[in-house]
């Protein structure tokens, strides 16, 4: 394959990427493939058109700079830009070189940030909290019974110098029986919580909770 055919093949492959990227972000990100071999008609493909340009339109100033200087940066990322109607954009430009090290194409992405800015502001307001209450939380949304159960398990384990899951079988059985006596089994999900804390099955928890049989 001669160099011209190889270059054309490379541009065709880049065109597939441009189309796929644009169709992934409809209404949000314009993707343009410039064929820098023909700067007067450089736009080879434009997907999700937000700028009003057309296939066959000329190269931008950045594209002309790439053509003039092989040492121009391969990637110019996240620079501020603006669509013809004034909407702000965030752009990235990726230069594509051939085997000889010459820029033959550029893949450019232009993100319409005017669409995202109100969304970002709304989300920021949505997650914001009033900081006038100091560092102490007014409440926690975790179930209060679960907190108390966890605390009881941790206190029992601390007395024996081991994390709950590392307790011996005898200690786990003693702990479960103590929790049963103290009324921690009343909520229906208590056995599941205890099982998770001790690293055993729920069936094992129920077995441990049985009172010792009379001799």
Same domain, residue pair 70 and 161: no
How many domains does one find in the chain? Answer: 2
96-110, 162-176, 184-198: least confidently modelled range = 184-198
Domain range for 18 is: 3-115
Report the distance separating Cα 29 and Cα 48, nearest Å: 7
Residues 19 and 99 in one domain: yes
**What percent of the chain shows pLDDT beyond 90?**
53
Q: Are residues 9 and 84 in the same domain?
A: yes
User: Same domain for 82 and 9?
Assistant: yes
Looking at the structure, tell me whether residues 91 and 9 fall in a common domain: yes
pLDDT of 213 reads 57
Q: Is the overall model pTM greater than 0.85, yes or no? A: no
> What are all long-range contacts of 36-39, with beta carbons under 8 Å and residues at least 24 apart?
36/63, 36/66, 36/67, 36/103, 36/104, 36/105, 36/106, 37/7, 37/11, 37/104, 37/105, 39/63, 39/64, 39/67
98-139 confidence digits (pLDDT tens): 999 999 999 999 999 887 767 666 777 777 766 555 555 445
pLDDT in tens, 12-48: 999 999 999 999 988 889 999 999 999 999 999 999 9
CATH code at position 82: 3.30.450.20
């Amino acid at each position: 394959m001669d160099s011209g055919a190889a270059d054309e093949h490379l541009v065709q492959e880049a065109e597939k990427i441009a189309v796929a990227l644009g169709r992934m972000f409809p209404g949000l990100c314009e993707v343009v493939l410039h064929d820098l071999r023909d700067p007067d008609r450089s736009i080879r493909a434009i997907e999700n058109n937000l700028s009003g340009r057309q296939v066959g339109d000329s190269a931008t100033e950045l594209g002309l700079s790439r053509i003039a200087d092989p040492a121009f940066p391969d990637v110019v990322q996240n620079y501020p830009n603006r669509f013809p109607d004034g909407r702000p954009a965030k752009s990235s430009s990726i230069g594509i070189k051939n085997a000889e090290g010459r820029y033959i194409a550029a893949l450019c992405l232009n993100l319409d940030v005017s669409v995202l800015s109100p969304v970002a502001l709304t989300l920021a307001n949505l997650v914001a909290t009033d900081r006038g209450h100091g560092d102490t939380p007014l409440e926690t949304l975790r179930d209060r019974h679960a907190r108390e159960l966890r605390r009881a398990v941790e206190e029992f384990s601390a007395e024996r110098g081991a994390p709950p899951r590392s307790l011996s079988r005898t200690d786990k059985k003693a702990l479960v029986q103590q929790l049963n006596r103290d009324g921690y089994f009343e909520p229906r999900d208590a056995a599941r919580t205890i099982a998770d804390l001790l690293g055993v099955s729920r069936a094992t928890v129920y077995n441990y909770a049985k009172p010792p049989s009379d001799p």
